[in-house]
Amino acid sequence: MSSIFTLSIVQSALELGLIYSLVALALFISFSILNIADLSTDGCFTLGCAVGAMVTLAGHPVLALFAAMFAGVCSGYITAFLQTKLGIESILAGIIVNTGLYTINIAVMAGSSTVNLFNFDTLFSLAKDKIGGSFSKIIVALVIVILIAIFLAWFLGTRLGLSIRATGNNPDMVKASSINPGFMITVGLCVANALTGLSGALLAQYQKSCDINLGTGMVTIALASLIIGESLIGKGSVLRRIFGVVLGSCLYRFIVAIALRLNVPAEALKLVSAIIVAVAIALPYIKKQVAFEKQKSAAMKKRREGK
């Protein structure tokens, strides 16, 4: 095992796991809580990355995070606007925004498809100067994730948060209880996409670059993390579920790290995550089918023996 897990591999898996956990948390809001498959996640992640990179390039690595979150809010607002005000199916709304964002993202990166941040101050390089040591990156990511987790746990317990949860859980109830479902979907998607944008900006600073294709498949990867987390932790209090999502994201990165270590080509990883998601979502259904088949064959056997 020691040959598979070197310290640096564990470390980078944790760092990436924490950074990407913010997208998984975004899907926790849109997919698990609001029951909406937000397919604009890929484009929004790249948007956060691009905005974050450009503001970092301008010399404001901290402001970059807020700018990326704001960009995410705007993207989420448009997705929500399309579905709540214009009656566009939620999946379609996400796809439409995702497509549009490609052009926006190129425009943000000043017409180029990549941006490099080498030799520019990033949050991680600043932390390294301040804290020093090889753990500074983890500390930065961890602090941000903890802050977000605390905020989310608090937020989901407020009237607004409870209303958002009820909107995804029982639309009938919501209509009869003075909650405006359209508004709740809008707020939920804005918060979710702010997290996606933040994640993108952090990744841009982490790997000191941004690429137009960075977000491709992000929704599947985040979903894989989310499902791994939920199946490990199960249902429970909101804070517990949030912790599960972060854990799931880190675990996913470990799986990827091991796969890379075992010489699985990097381009195969998207297929692997697609399979993880498909299997994880299908698992409960398959279990039920298997249980039924068992019951059926047992009953048939009994009948035959009876004759």
Partner 1 sequence: MLQLKNISKTFNAGTVNEKKALRNLNLDLKDGDFATIVGSNGAGKSTMFNAITGAFYVDCGEIILDDEDITYKKEHIRSRDIGHLFQDPLRGTAPGMTIEENMALAYLRAKTARHDYFSRIRKEDKEKFREQLALLNMGLEDRMKQPVGLLSGGQRQALTLLMATMVTPKILLLDEHTAALDPATAEKVLELTKSIIKERNITALMVTHNMHQAIELGNRILMMDQGHIILDIEGEEKAKLTVEELLEKFKENAGKALDNDRILTAE
Give the interface with partner 1 as residue ranges (CB under 8 A).
Answer: 157-160, 162-163, 165-166, 169-170, 172-181, 235, 237
Phi/psi at 209 (nearest 5 deg)?
A: -165, 165
* Minimum distance of partner 1 from residue 158's CB (angstroms): 5
Q: Which is nearer to partner 1, 155 or 254 (CB)?
A: 155
* Minimum distance of partner 1 from residue 163's CB (angstroms): 7
* Minimum distance of partner 1 from residue 33's CB (angstroms): 9
Q: Which residues contact 42 (CB under 8 A, 6 or more apart)?
A: 98, 215, 216, 217, 218, 219
* Minimum distance of partner 1 from residue 295's CB (angstroms): 24
* Minimum distance of partner 1 from residue 291's CB (angstroms): 21
Q: Which is nearer to partner 1, 113 or 158 (CB)?
A: 158
Q: Which is nearer to partner 1, 103 or 237 (CB)?
A: 237
Q: Which is nearer to partner 1, 48 or 168 (CB)?
A: 168
Q: Which is nearer to partner 1, 68 or 191 (CB)?
A: 191
* Minimum distance of partner 1 from residue 184's CB (angstroms): 10
